[in-house]
């Protein structure tokens, strides 16, 4: 789902929780402007920032998603022996305690382990407390218990989690594992924690999604100006799993310029599909996925796709690039800047980001679309 402009909410709703969730509301005054799939609304209350996402339903605004923007910590956690199990296990262990009161306190921290990094979000807990928690050596009781929990987690892995593993294996290395346990000693876990959960591997992401450059890894980042001449094309591959097919563009030898341009291409594709479905009166569902890992940057699409003419693509490209650059100027469309900082030890300003995208011409987009088999034959 694409970003849309913030607006003012006047409808009334009932909040049932302070964590991320869907809240059911009934509003009479708000409506979604024509051509938008949802409305993002910002509101501040008691020094906290809320974002509300409104969706149209039977002609009226019916759904509301409410969540806090929380400070986040991003940690570089590479695979161990081609397996994600060790960093995943560590993430579970640091957020576990045998003490009930402490465990409840830890439940305010949300975390997940991706391919090459671990992400922590904390709600109303001082950052220094979170860091102290992450660096406190894991206890053996947690190590034993969390192995059982992760084993059960893997048993319920979704179809798409399994398919994603197959794609990683085909694109990068057939030995990569994301849904499997491994033989890990307690000492090895402690060594990994001591090595990886250190300030030089940690980025603080502030409430407004900007990097805190006054602390930890943020202090060591150098300013980088990405150039269009640094862009190189990704590789195309088609993967199958059971009855599903997935088309993937994989950027293996990554550099920041190539990542940001491929991110722009992905956003363009998604919004073009949205406009196509809207014009046809079809219900819109996202057709693209992405994955930013320490191995490479991937975008993928489902097999069924509306193939449009180059003329349609060119017309939309001219409009979309201007829109995208305007969004960058106000701090949007920069979701991968923290990942770039983590993997490349650099920071890219909004101005340099905008100038890079502004230098992208249609032949680059056309070549990517042709590789991705998106053009009408």
Same domain, 333 and 356: yes
pLDDT score of 19: 31
Contact 341, 347 (CB under 8 A): yes
Query: Residue 377's pLDDT is what?
Result: 63
Q: Check: CB of residue 85 under 8 Å from CB of residue 75.
A: no
CATH of the domain at 301: 3.30.830
68 neighbors 48 (Cβ within 8 angstroms):
yes
Domain that holds residue 337: 222-371
Domain end, chosen from 160, 188, 219, is at 219
Q: Is residue 39 part of a domain?
A: yes
Domain edge (last residue) among 188, 219, 250: 219
377 residues of the chain, pLDDT tens digit each: 222 222 222 222 222 232 333 333 333 333 334 334 444 444 444 444 444 444 443 333 333 333 444 678 999 999 999 999 999 999 999 998 877 777 777 777 889 999 999 999 876 677 788 888 899 999 999 999 999 999 999 999 999 899 999 999 999 999 999 999 999 999 999 999 999 999 889 999 887 778 989 889 999 999 999 999 999 999 999 998 888 888 999 999 899 999 999 999 999 999 998 888 888 777 767 778 889 999 999 999 887 777 888 999 999 999 999 999 999 999 999 989 999 999 999 999 999 999 999 999 999 999 999 999 988 76
Residue 376 domain flag: no
Separation in Å, CA 370 to CA 63, 136, 137, 152, 269: 38, 51, 51, 42, 12
Q: Please check whether residues 284 and 340 belong to one and the same domain.
A: yes
Residues 38 and 97 in one domain: no
Q: Which residues pair with 240 in a beta bridge?
A: 245
342 and 232 in one domain? yes
How high is the pLDDT of residue 34?
39
CATH of residue 97's domain is 3.30.830.10
238, 362 Cβ separation under 8 angstroms: no
Q: Same domain for 159 and 130?
A: yes
pLDDT at 23: 33
Residue 1 lies in a domain: no
Model pTM?
Answer: 0.79
239 and 347 housed in the same domain: yes
pLDDT at 49: 43
Cα separation, 262 vs 255, in Å, equals 11
Residue 142 domain flag: yes
Q: Same structural domain for residues 235 and 272? A: yes
Which DSSP state fits 20?
S
Check: CB of residue 167 under 8 Å from CB of residue 160: no
Residue after which a domain boundary falls, among 18, 41, 68? 68
Domain presence at residue 276: yes
Which 8-state DSSP code applies to residue 92?
H
Is residue 347 a part of any domain in this protein? yes
Looking at the structure of the chain, the number of domains it has is 3
Does 277 share its domain with 263?
yes
| pLDDT at position 152 | 94
Examine the domain organization and report whether 188 and 207 are in the same domain.
yes
Residue 297: inside a domain, yes or no? yes
- The verdict on 226 and 269 lying in the same domain is yes
Per-residue confidence (pLDDT) for residue 44, from 0 to 100: 43
- Total residues found in the chain within this entry: 377
Beta carbons of 43 and 9 less than 8 angstroms apart: yes
Q: Are residues 235 and 143 part of one domain? A: no
């Amino acid at each position: 789902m694409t970003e849309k402009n913030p607006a003012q909410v006047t409808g009334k709703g009932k909040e049932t929780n302070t964590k991320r969730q869907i809240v059911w509301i009934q509003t009479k005054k708000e409506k979604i402007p024509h051509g938008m799939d949802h409305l993002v609304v910002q509101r501040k209350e008691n020094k906290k920032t809320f974002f509300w996402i409104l969706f149209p339903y039977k002609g009226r605004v019916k759904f509301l998603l409410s969540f806090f923007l929380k400070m986040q910590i991003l940690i570089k956690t590479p695979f161990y022996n081609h397996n994600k199990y060790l960093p995943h296990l560590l993430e579970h262990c640091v957020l576990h305690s045998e003490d009930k009161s402490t465990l409840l306190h830890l439940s305010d921290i949300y975390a997940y382990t991706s391919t090459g990094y671990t992400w922590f979000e904390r709600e109303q807990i001082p950052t220094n407390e979170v860091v102290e928690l992450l660096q406190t050596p894991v206890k053996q009781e947690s190590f034993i218990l969390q192995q059982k929990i992760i084993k059960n987690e893997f048993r319920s892995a979704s179809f798409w989690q399994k398919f994603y593993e197959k794609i990683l294996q085909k694109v990068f290395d057939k030995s990569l594992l994301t849904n499997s346990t491994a033989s890990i000693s307690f000492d090895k876990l402690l060594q990994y924690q001591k090595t990886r959960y250190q300030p030089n591997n940690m980025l603080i992401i502030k409430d407004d999604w900007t990097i805190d450059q006054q602390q930890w890894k943020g202090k060591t980042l150098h300013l980088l100006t990405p150039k269009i001449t640094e862009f190189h094309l990704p590789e195309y591959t088609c993967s199958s799993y059971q009855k599903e097919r997935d088309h993937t563009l994989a950027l293996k030898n990554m550099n920041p310029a190539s990542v940001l341009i491929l991110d722009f291409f992905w956003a363009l594709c998604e919004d073009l599909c949205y406009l196509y479905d809207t014009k046809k009166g079809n219900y819109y569902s996202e057709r693209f996925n992405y994955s930013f890992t320490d191995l490479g940057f991937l975008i993928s699409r489902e097999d069924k796709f509306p193939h449009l003419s180059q003329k349609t693509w060119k017309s939309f490209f001219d409009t979309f690039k201007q829109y995208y650059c305007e969004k960058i100027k106000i701090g949007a469309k920069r979701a991968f800047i923290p990942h770039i900082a983590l993997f490349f030890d650099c920071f890219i300003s909004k101005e340099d980001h905008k100038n890079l995208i502004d230098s992208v011409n249609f032949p680059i987009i056309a070549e990517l679309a042709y590789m991705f088999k998106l053009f009408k034959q």
